[in-house]
Structure 1
Amino acid sequence: MTLTKYGFLVYYIIIMDLIAELAEKVKKNPKRIVFPEGDNPEIQSAVNNLAKDRVVKPIVLVKTSGSFSFAEGVSVLEPEKEQERLKKFSEGYARKHQTSPKVAEKLCRRNIFFGAMMVAEGEADGMVAGIDSATAIVLQSAALAVGLAPQSSIPSSFFVMHFGELFGEKDKVLIYADCAATIEPDSQQLAEIGVTTARNSQRLLGFEPRVAFLSFSTKGSANHTRTEKVVKAVEIARSMAPEIMFDGELQADAALIPRVANKKAPDSPVAGKANVLVFPDLDSGNIAYKLTQYLAGASAYGPIIQGFRRPVNDLSRGAKAKDIYGVAIITALLA
């Protein structure tokens, strides 16, 4: 995708229109979002903009306060100086997990874990982290501190992929799942990913989800244990949420292109018009979103982590302030 300077400006405005639209929803009831990596310049820029726009109530965790000037409305905490909170979080974690207070305190002194405990204890409505930490650290902290939602057996994730134009349609949004969390889901887990992603997409964007479970085969064009896994996942997803449209196994072109769908899956309620794509494993999901982002010029918001009792979201370590701003708004909408 080649863009002139002015073409890029128009494309950027279109992308930001989606976030501006979501921001208007958030402003009605601003949520407290904690950012445990408050010493990062991109985080600092993002939270200042969030506070100035009054879309969320940012809480930043820093190693040393006063090293950066935050905007009015940004709450700044130094976990090492928060002795009462450290005691409360450590004792609460030790009781819940039947571990020693010393081990619990060591965990709670880590900014990401401290932030997760703020969410667990109701002192924040959600957390955005990961710009300076591996996804595994963010997920582990959320799993231990916040815990899984009652209906969830695993954490999973999705990306909001936003295109300036796709297939002749301007301002197009697709959802990709799972691209960051579950490496090799079985049929039950894949079904759960599909159902949870569909419901969160509907809640976040307000559209009717049409969920395609992707494979290298369409409707039996190839037989393999991998395609059988996807077919079984579709059956389970339909039983879990009969009100949602699911179909599979479908190849990507059959899921997205009406002309191809008419040939390969003419009776499918989803083929040719899918807006939620569920990938069979983390390899395919992660590769697909990065190729889409860098080759097709799409904007990728996420990964939006799902399956926890309260929203905790991960950032790419290459995230810029505008990306963090968008993820924070999505986190607030899901809180």
Structure 2
Amino acid sequence: MRAAVSYVNQGLGTAILVGREEHVEETARAAGLDLNRPGIEVINARLSSRNAAYADYLYEKLQRRGYLARDCLRLINNDRNHFAACMVALGDADGMVTGVTRNYATGLDDVRRVIDSKPGHRMVGVSIALCRGRTVFIADTAVHEMPTAAELADIAVEAAGMARRMGYVPRVALTAFSTFGHMGGERSARIQEAVRILATRHVDFEFDGEMSTDVALNPKLMEQYPFIRLSGPANVIVTPDNHSASIAADMLQELGGATIIGPLLVGLDKPAQIVTIGAKDSDIVNMAAITAYNATN
């Protein structure tokens, strides 16, 4: 609720809070917040006039995945994530931010039940690291636990697209423990295959791999590989799996003093983002601002 007030005070847009009015108002009073202002709406999912339309939409998507019509109506009535995602899917809201009260995986599953990937795209989690005057996009930090070579290629495309939308010229390094075949293994082979797949797609950004992260980021080390196809240090890092991507982002934040934004979900047909449990008000506002930006661009 503090994030909603801050979002509106900064003129970023309208904030919609999904919850029981009396509970929201009681909690707001206890926190010293005034929600009775232009730009803040409170919607009770159970009492919404759109419930039937949302339940029908959800049932159409889930009927062959073990859900009955009454199951979908129950989800709409009782679960904020499904209700909010249906608001976005059917155009009653421009985007959604969730995650403060439940774990990331649960929020991700909820969103994926309702909002599809954009046609021709793959849903990917990208974290933005701001550290020592540099900005680096790290993927996939959320969705694909052990991606195939084809999925790694898609992850590179989605992360590069996000970097470009943020105003950067993407230079993508597909990273591994090994560098260009030295001390390779099965995961290195997947990275090498992903590089070959990208080459066949004739993508419009620089990429190369497999390489260790220090080579990808350090221009002095890059000089040892004059054949490298990056014109400078990478600003997009694609890792072999989401464990290593998430660990890298967390370590940059905790040990390197980096500011980490995300993971940000890209490749969805409609804007939806998930913050982590314990996210600060500023984190939620930043995520909402990015969601609004994606909705209008």
Do these two structures clear the TM 0.5 threshold for a shared fold by scoring above it? Answer: yes
Note closer, same or farther for the CA distance 1:303–1:60 as it changes in structure 2 (3 Å cut): same
- Aligned equivalent of 1:240, options 201, 204, 213: 201
- Equivalence for 1:201: 163
Note closer, same or farther for the CA distance 1:282–1:81 as it changes in structure 2 (3 Å cut): same
- Aligned equivalent of 1:134, options 93, 103, 106: 103
Q: What CA deviation, in whole Å up to 9, does each residue of 1:239-262 have, x standing for no partner?
A: 335211111001011000011111
How far 1:319 moved relative to its partner?
1.0
How far 1:218 moved relative to its partner?
0.9
Structure 2 distance, partners of 1:271, 1:108, is: 50
How far 1:156 moved relative to its partner?
1.6
- Equivalence for 2:228: 268
Structure 2 distance, partners of 1:96, 1:157, is: 23
- Equivalence for 1:21: none
- Equivalence for 1:72: 38
Tell me, what secondary structure is at the counterpart of 1:151? coil
Tell me, what secondary structure is at the counterpart of 1:290? helix
- Equivalence for 2:55: 90
TM-score relative to the length of structure 1? 0.80
- Equivalence for 1:121: 90
How far 1:299 moved relative to its partner?
0.9
- Equivalence for 1:19: none
Tell me, what secondary structure is at the counterpart of 2:96? strand
List structure 1 segments (4+ residues) > 6 angstroms apart after TM superposition: none
Q: What CA deviation, in whole Å up to 9, does each residue of 1:202-235 have, x standing for no partner?
A: 11x1110000001011111123111110011112
- Equivalence for 2:289: 329
Structure 1 distance, partners of 2:163, 2:14, is: 23
Note closer, same or farther for the CA distance 1:189–1:114 as it changes in structure 2 (3 Å cut): same
Q: Amino acid of the residue matched to residue 183 of structure 2?
A: A
Q: Is the 8 A contact 2:177 2:184 kept in 1?
A: no
- Equivalence for 2:47: 81
Q: Amino acid of the residue matched to residue 258 of structure 1?
A: P
Q: Amino acid of the residue matched to residue 276 of structure 2?
A: S
- Equivalence for 2:212: 251
Structure 2 distance, partners of 1:285, 1:90, is: 36
How far 1:271 moved relative to its partner?
7.1
CA RMSD of aligned residues (A): 1.5
Structure 1 distance, partners of 2:206, 2:14, is: 36
Q: Is the 8 A contact 1:195 1:241 kept in 2?
A: no
Q: Is the 8 A contact 2:61 2:114 kept in 1?
A: no
- Equivalence for 1:210: 171
Q: After TM superposition, list the pairs within 5 Å mapping 1:143-158 onto structure 2.
A: 143-152=112-121, 154-158=122-126
- Equivalence for 2:4: 47
Note closer, same or farther for the CA distance 1:236–1:195 as it changes in structure 2 (3 Å cut): same
Q: Which moved more, 1:288-297 or 1:240-249?
A: 240-249
How far 1:72 moved relative to its partner?
2.9
Q: How high is the sequence identity, in percent, across the aligned residues?
A: 29
How far 1:52 moved relative to its partner?
0.9
Note closer, same or farther for the CA distance 1:218–1:271 as it changes in structure 2 (3 Å cut): farther
Q: Is the 8 A contact 1:177 1:279 kept in 2?
A: yes
Matched residue pairs, number?
A: 282
Q: Is the 8 A contact 2:147 2:240 kept in 1?
A: yes
Structure 2 distance, partners of 1:237, 1:137, is: 32
Tell me, what secondary structure is at the counterpart of 1:174? strand
Q: Amino acid of the residue matched to residue 38 of structure 2?
A: E
How far 1:329 moved relative to its partner?
1.3
Structure 1 distance, partners of 2:206, 2:287, is: 27
Note closer, same or farther for the CA distance 1:139–1:53 as it changes in structure 2 (3 Å cut): same
**Structure 2 gap ranges (5+):** 29-33
Tell me, what secondary structure is at the counterpart of 1:105? helix
Q: Is the 8 A contact 2:46 2:76 kept in 1?
A: no
**Structure 1 gap ranges (5+):** 1-43
Q: Amino acid of the residue matched to residue 78 of structure 1?
A: N
Q: Amino acid of the residue matched to residue 208 of structure 1?
A: V
Q: Is the 8 A contact 1:238 1:244 kept in 2?
A: no
TM-score relative to the length of structure 2? 0.90
